[in-house]
Structure 1
Amino acid sequence: MKFIKADWDPELHGFRLDAGAYLAELPGLRAGLPPGAWSFASDPGHYDISGATRCVKDLEPAGIHLATDKSAGLVLEFAPNRWKHDSGLRISYSGVTHFSVDHEHSIDRMLVGTVLLDEILPDEDGGCTHEIALTDASITVRCADLQAVWEDAG
């Protein structure tokens, strides 16, 4: 990620997370981000790690659905963390030109597990790139736009 920091700190035995540089840059990205991406990235609770139920931190990957036709659609589902979230998150991507999941395997005791933070940046073709840092992997999606919907866990 370019602005978001989500790095393992061996001294802390935990992750050092910082969205400050991205939040400072975000107003300047508005004109370059598609409407759905802007709406999701600029939601006031998105990066409120201290407790907002709409913060992506600690969500758990729950499903990947790739379109089987030529629509270039992709849906990622995230289950709520039972200690933090009231709802899960479904992100629907349109016009997908790239999708990857990269496993790092740098912390043996952790599973791919949970979301640390994410970052959405404008792409040179008018779309966006969405990178999601997980505890031991990352997801990258390049697309025309995305729609993020918080859904009841029940």
Structure 2
Amino acid sequence: MKFVKAEWDAAMHGFDLDPSAYLAELPKMRDALPSGAWAYASDAEHYSMRSSRCVKDLELAHISVPTGNRGTLAIEFAANRWKHESGLRIRYSAVSRFSIEYHRSIDWMQADTVLLDEILPREDGCLHEIALTDATITIHCQEIEALWGGEE
């Protein structure tokens, strides 16, 4: 990620997380981000670590990859029972790139959980990068729709 810090700290035996540089840059991206991506990234609770609508600690539950060019990529995150009231579903339209890169082996966790994420503008939409405890998800798309729990 360009601004958000989500790195393993061996000395600390945990993750060093800091979205402050991204939050300082985010207002400058207002006109460059698609409206749904902006709404999701700029939500006041998105990076508020104690909020039930903070992405931190959501558990990766399901990824639905379309087989054709017209489909919608969807990622579902289950609620962490200690923190969230509901899970989160993110739909991505006009996806031009999707990847998952596994980079460490953390065998003491039952599920890959979200550390933090970052959305940056691109010429054809936006780039969404999601740091998980054991992987990084990268998506280039035209637009993002994020739905918490029963929202539709």
The TM-score with structure 1 as length reference comes to 0.93
Q: Does residue 134 in structure 1 map to residue 132 in structure 2?
A: yes
Following the alignment from structure 2 to structure 1, what is the Cα–Cα distance between the partners of residues 10 and 32? 36
Q: What SS is found at the alignment partner of 1:141?
A: strand
Following the alignment from structure 1 to structure 2, what is the Cα–Cα distance between the partners of residues 80 and 15? 20
| Amino acid in structure 1 at the alignment position of 2:75 | L
Assess if the C-alpha contact under 8 Å between 1:103 and 1:112 holds in 2: no
Which residue is 1:65 aligned to? 64
Which residue is 1:89 aligned to? 88
Q: Does residue 146 in structure 1 map to residue 126 in structure 2?
A: no
Identity of aligned residues (%): 59
Assess if the C-alpha contact under 8 Å between 2:69 and 2:94 holds in 1: no
Structure 1 gaps, min length 5? none
Which residue is 1:99 aligned to? 98
Q: What SS is found at the alignment partner of 2:24?
A: helix
Which residue is 1:3 aligned to? 3
Following the alignment from structure 2 to structure 1, what is the Cα–Cα distance between the partners of residues 37 and 121? 9
Assess if the C-alpha contact under 8 Å between 1:102 and 1:138 holds in 2: yes
Which residue is 1:124 aligned to? 123
Q: What SS is found at the alignment partner of 2:2?
A: coil
| Amino acid in structure 1 at the alignment position of 2:21 | A
Assess if the C-alpha contact under 8 Å between 1:4 and 1:18 holds in 2: yes
**CA-based RMSD:** 1.3
Q: Deviations over 1:65-119 (max 9, x none)?
A: 1123321420000000000000100000000000000000254544661000000
Following the alignment from structure 2 to structure 1, what is the Cα–Cα distance between the partners of residues 60 and 45? 19
Q: Deviations over 1:9-49 (max 9, x none)?
A: 11110000000000000000111100000000000000001
Assess if the C-alpha contact under 8 Å between 1:112 and 1:134 holds in 2: no
Structure 2 gaps, min length 5? none
Following the alignment from structure 1 to structure 2, what is the Cα–Cα distance between the partners of residues 111 and 120? 27
Assess if the C-alpha contact under 8 Å between 1:95 and 1:145 holds in 2: yes
The TM-score with structure 2 as length reference comes to 0.94
Count of residue pairs brought into register by the alignment: 150
> Which range is displaced more, 106-115 or 22-31?
106-115
Q: Pick closer, same or farther for the CA change 1:111–1:97 going to 2, 3 Å.
A: farther
